[in-house]
Structure 1
Amino acid sequence: MAKSKLYLVDDHQIFREGLRNLIEIEGIGEVVGESNNGKDFIDKIEHIDVDLVLMDISMPVMNGIEATKLAIEKNPELKVMALSMNGDEDYYYKMIEAGVKGFLLKDSGIKEIERAILTVIEGDSYFSNELLRRIISNLAKPSDKKTEADSLLSGREKEVLIEICNGLTNDEIAEKLFISAQTVKGHRSNLLSKTNCRNSASLVMYAIKNKIVEL
């Protein structure tokens, strides 16, 4: 089986070298290109065939938000996963709006890095559990007010949404909730329509903001 083709975008050379060595030594994939800022990435990406881009957020010249937005405008099928140590949740919302498929913290272990890469390449979204905890912690404010989701979503839709946040596929959700994969697909479609979200990544942010998930 052919190795996954990965592209690294980060302004720290030492980090790129370390991640590249880790990915290739562990046999996770092949790094076919690197850039130290978003502009360099945009200039090169049209000429390189990749399965997944690992994108830093904060970089000079052009940041990861703008680079992701421009790259996906040129190629809507491009898969991008954000890599960051930044604790400011505002960046995550902006990256989701730009079109990323998930987030991975730079200090993640090798097993999580491998799982995240494979998950996104296969078409699903991936969120680091530690990152979700940080976002939820930053957003946590005591309130007795009902959220939008209380009246908008059914109980079953909330259950499916929680499992989406846990990173489960349609088949895995179906098995856990004792329903068919086709039913899960229908619930997922309804969730996207009702919440005006465009992908699983934005559904996760919706769930966090409406306090549907707690870690």
Structure 2
Amino acid sequence: MKTKTQIAILDDHYLIGEALKSILENDKYQISKVYQDYKDLFNDLENDLCKIDILFLDINLNSDIDGTEICKIINNKFPEIKINIITSFNQKSLIIEILQNKISGFMIKNINKKDLLEGLDKIVAGELYIHSDIYKLLQSDNNKSRHNEKPILTKREKEVLVEIFNGLTTVEIANKLFISKYTVESHRANIHSKTGTNNLAGLIKFALDNNLIL
């Protein structure tokens, strides 16, 4: 029998945690525990009381530290855990701040079941999943960029960057632009090299700061 991916949820709203649990548990995923207090989570992790592959983390917790700080601690002490942010916050500055951390997913709490499960599948596959509404928020008012640097990307690289920003995978970009996935991978490598970034979160921030996504 295939081992199920173990998911834990940290959200101080009991009903949210239970709702997520009822949606997520299936033949691929199992909820190992729902937490309302980060201290209980850390206690279980430090004492090896709970196996967690993916943590659903609310960044707006009613506690002495927020989700951003919890994210940093987990990345430092338990780097094997993939973190999926799930929140009702829609502040652009906060989203960009969160993206500075090593996360595997970013979802909004009104996400539908289809997007939730598809996003989770992408996270398990090692991809960074960011919900389309988050992308739209990041893209809003981007024409008011703080910089006017000369574009450094070729036309095709810009096309690939736009589709990356829209959340498409390498294969999806290849199909949309009628090129091979290896060509897309080459463009992605060039984009990261030219922008001095090494992950999607850093690339998104660079693109926003330098008005590369219009």
Q: Where on the TM-score scale, by shorter chain, does this alignment land: which range?
A: 0.7 to 0.9
1:50, CA displacement in angstroms? 2.5
1:67 and 2:70 correspond: yes
Within a 5 Å distance, the mapping from 1:104-183 to structure 2 comes to 104-137=107-140, 139-142=141-144, 147-148=148-149, 150-183=150-183
Distance 1:140 1:42, change over 3 A: same
1:30, CA displacement in angstroms? 0.8
The secondary structure found in structure 1 opposite 2:85 is: strand
Distance 1:80 1:182, change over 3 A: same
8 Å Cα contact 2:142-2:213 kept in structure 1: no
Inter-partner Cα distance in structure 2 for 1:37 and 1:191: 40
The C-alpha deviation readout for 1:128-150, integer Å capped at 9, x for no partner, is: 1122222333x44557x8744x5
The C-alpha deviation readout for 1:67-108, integer Å capped at 9, x for no partner, is: 111111223343111111112122212211121122110011
Between 202-211 and 60-69, the greater mean CA deviation after superposition: 202-211
8 Å Cα contact 2:143-2:211 kept in structure 1: no
What corresponds to 1:3 in structure 2?
Answer: 4
Inter-partner Cα distance in structure 2 for 1:191 and 1:102: 22
Could you tell me which runs of 5 or more consecutive residues in structure 1 were left unpaired when the two chains were aligned. none
The secondary structure found in structure 2 opposite 1:151 is: coil
Inter-partner Cα distance in structure 1 for 2:190 and 2:81: 25
Between 118-127 and 186-195, the greater mean CA deviation after superposition: 186-195
**Percent of residue pairs bearing the same amino acid type:** 30
Structure 2 counterpart of 1:188, which letter? Answer: R
The C-alpha deviation readout for 1:154-195, integer Å capped at 9, x for no partner, is: 222211112212222222222322333223222222222322
Structure 2 counterpart of 1:191, which letter? Answer: I
8 Å Cα contact 1:10-1:56 kept in structure 2: yes
Distance 1:77 1:192, change over 3 A: farther
Counterpart pick for 1:52 among 51, 54, 63: 54
RMSD: 2.4
Q: How many residue pairs end up in the alignment?
A: 210
Distance 1:77 1:162, change over 3 A: farther
1:99 and 2:118 correspond: no
